[in-house]
């Protein structure tokens, strides 16, 4: 079965959705921003035309429902995120949502209803940019969103609660976004790999075995600001110099651990003037590994190092915020169905670990989870040069449709589709 025209349409839609941005000439679309509202209207229109019933849930997720062959059927959710990092590429997140819509279009074209319903979900937030907290859309859908986050403010001092109100959503009703227990049959996410593994193996697509665990911390070195001209070097407690030493330690520690990734991605300095010794340096730390024990040990080591650096330099060190997400295995049965579907489409069923975090890691808490990766040319992502190959998009669509048919047979055999 060739899905060329549907795949071409998916790519054209990725191009169009890239124009919904907070910044001229760049793709930047953060949680609850105005361009997201317009994107919902456009993408929701495509969903409706495809035969999906569209709603925007309490967490500002865009959801399209394709009913199953009988009432009360459970739901297979196919989702990814619609928000982006600043100056993003066209495919991270959006591609997975559009492939979900295209898969439903293929079913409609073939006149098929399945023994389960499909909900294509465009999550409102995954990247953790605006409120320094990731997976907000999927956490709400999974019923795992901490209500205290509502009081957190963005860089402009707007609280998440106010941002929800401005978007036309009542923050007090966020709980309504959660699926009732037992309603989900499973969750499938299709996403670009954002890494080099599939390309190195010459593979169009691959099955995710697990998602690496991830720790995100925001830490602060607090020294003493002073005059850059009059304060002698030996009398200084330079917060930025301490932070700089720590950044290099993070790099050294990660290089020494196989499969370990550790990154300082943000650093802000106060007061931040050319003639003032830095008083405060605030930075983020992101640590990942497929094995939780390795990641936990690395985080503990790095915090010990940070305290030692701070003590030696006479500055204070504090952890401002921290989040730890354990590694998440995919559901074995769904992963096997994906692998079978890849082989049936004439490709090698490569298995790999996701170094990037995804909504799938959150959804795995409430439903059997599977992920399909598409090759990322050059491994480039979170960058405007992010690309996909048209043939890979077509392959992914074939695999999804094959997966749906196989899941329908499995569900039929085991009668898993009724109310749980």
Query: What are the residues binding Zn ion (CB under 5 A)?
Result: 92-93
Give the shortest CB-29-to-Zn ion separation in angstroms. Answer: 12
Cβ atoms within 10 Å, residue 272: 13
* Residue number with CB closer to Zn ion (22 or 67): 22
Three-state SS sequence of the chain: CCCHHHHHHHHHHHHHHCCCCCECCECCCCCCCHHHHHHHHHHHHHHHHCCCEEEECCCCCEEEEECCCCCCCCEEEEEEECCCCCCCCCCCCHHHHHHHHHHHHHHHHCCCCCCCEEEEEEECCCCCCCCCCCCHHHHHHCCCCCHHHHHCECCCCCEHHHHHHHCCCCHHHHHHHCCCCCCEEEEEEEEECCCCHHHHCCCCEEEEEEECEEEEEEEEEECECEECCCCCHHHCECHHHHHHHHHHHHHHHHHCCCCCEEECCCEEEECCCCCEECCEEEEEEEEEECCHHHHHHHHHHHHHHHHHHHHHHCCEEEEEEEEEECCEECCHHHHHHHHHHHHHCCCCCEEEEECCCCHHHHHCCCCCEEEEEECCHHHCCCCCCCCCCHHHHHHHHHHHHHHHHHHHHHHHHHCCCCCC
* Six token digits for residue 276: 């003032």
Give the shortest CB-362-to-Zn ion separation in angstroms. Answer: 13
Give the shortest CB-125-to-Zn ion separation in angstroms. Answer: 11
Alpha carbons 279 and 276: distance in angstroms, whole number? 8
* Residue number with CB closer to Zn ion (220 or 386): 386
Give the shortest CB-285-to-Zn ion separation in angstroms. Answer: 20
Give the shortest CB-345-to-Zn ion separation in angstroms. Answer: 23
* Residue number with CB closer to Zn ion (215 or 381): 381
H or E element, residue 15: helix 4-17
Residue the block writes with tokens 């579907």: 341
Alpha carbons 138 and 59: distance in angstroms, whole number? 9
Give the shortest CB-92-to-Zn ion separation in angstroms. Answer: 4
* Residue number with CB closer to Zn ion (188 or 309): 188
* Six token digits for residue 272: 């931040």
Give the shortest CB-361-to-Zn ion separation in angstroms. Answer: 11
* Residue number with CB closer to Zn ion (204 or 371): 371
Give the shortest CB-263-to-Zn ion separation in angstroms. Answer: 16
Strands 328-329 and 62-66: unpaired
Strands (E), 94-167: 117-123
* Residue number with CB closer to Zn ion (93 or 134): 93
Give the shortest CB-7-to-Zn ion separation in angstroms. Answer: 20
* Residue number with CB closer to Zn ion (257 or 379): 379
* Residue number with CB closer to Zn ion (79 or 186): 79
* Residue number with CB closer to Zn ion (94 or 107): 94
Give the shortest CB-194-to-Zn ion separation in angstroms. Answer: 7
* Residue number with CB closer to Zn ion (126 or 238): 126
Give the shortest CB-185-to-Zn ion separation in angstroms. Answer: 23
């Amino acid at each position: 079965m060739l899905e060329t025209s549907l795949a071409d349409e998916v790519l054209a839609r990725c191009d169009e959705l890239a124009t919904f941005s907070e910044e001229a000439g760049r793709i930047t679309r953060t949680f609850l921003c105005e361009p997201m509202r317009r994107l919902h209207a456009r993408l929701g229109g495509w969903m409706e035309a495809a035969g999906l019933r569209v709603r925007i849930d309490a967490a500002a997720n865009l959801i399209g429902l394709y009913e199953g062959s009988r009432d009360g059927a459970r739901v297979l959710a196919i989702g990814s995120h619609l928000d982006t990092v600043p100056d993003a590429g066209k495919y991270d997140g959006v591609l997975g949502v559009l492939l979900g819509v295209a898969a439903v279009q293929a079913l409609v074209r073939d006149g098929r209803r399945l023994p389960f319903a499909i909900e294509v979900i465009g999550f409102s937030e995954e990247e953790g940019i605006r409120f320094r907290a990731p997976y907000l859309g999927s956490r709400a859908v999974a019923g795992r969103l901490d209500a205290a986050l509502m009081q957190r403010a963005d860089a402009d001092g707007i609280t998440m609660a106010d941002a929800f109100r401005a978007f036309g959503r009542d923050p007090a009703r966020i709980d309504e976004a959660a699926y009732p227990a037992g309603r989900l049959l499973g969750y499938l996410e299709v996403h670009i790999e954002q890494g080099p593994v599939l390309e190195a193996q010459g593979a169009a697509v691959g099955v995710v075995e697990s998602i690496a665990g991830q720790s995100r911390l925001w830490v602060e070195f607090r020294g003493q600001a002073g005059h850059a001209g009059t304060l002698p070097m030996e009398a200084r407690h330079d917060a930025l110099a301490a932070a700089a030493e720590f950044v290099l330690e993070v790099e050294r520690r990660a290089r020494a651990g196989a499969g370990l990734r550790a990154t300082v991605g943000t650093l802000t300095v106060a007061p931040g003037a050319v003639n003032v010794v830095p008083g405060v340096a605030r930075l983020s730390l992101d640590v990942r590994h497929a094995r939780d024990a390795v990641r936990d040990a690395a985080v503990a080591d790095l915090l010990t190092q940070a305290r030692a650096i701070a003590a030696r330099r006479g500055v204070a060190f504090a952890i401002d915020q921290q989040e730890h997400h354990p590694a998440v295995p995919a559901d074995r049965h769904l992963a096997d169905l994906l692998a079978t579907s890849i082989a049936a489409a004439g490709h090698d069923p490569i298995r790999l670990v996701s170094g990037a975090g995804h909504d799938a890691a959150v959804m795995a808490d409430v439903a059997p989870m599977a992920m399909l990766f598409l090759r990322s040319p050059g491994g480039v992502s979170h960058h405007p040069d992010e690309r996909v190959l048209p043939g890979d998009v077509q392959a992914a669509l074939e695999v999804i449709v094959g997966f749906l048919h196989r899941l329908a047979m499995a569900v039929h055999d085991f009668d898993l589709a009724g109310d749980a």
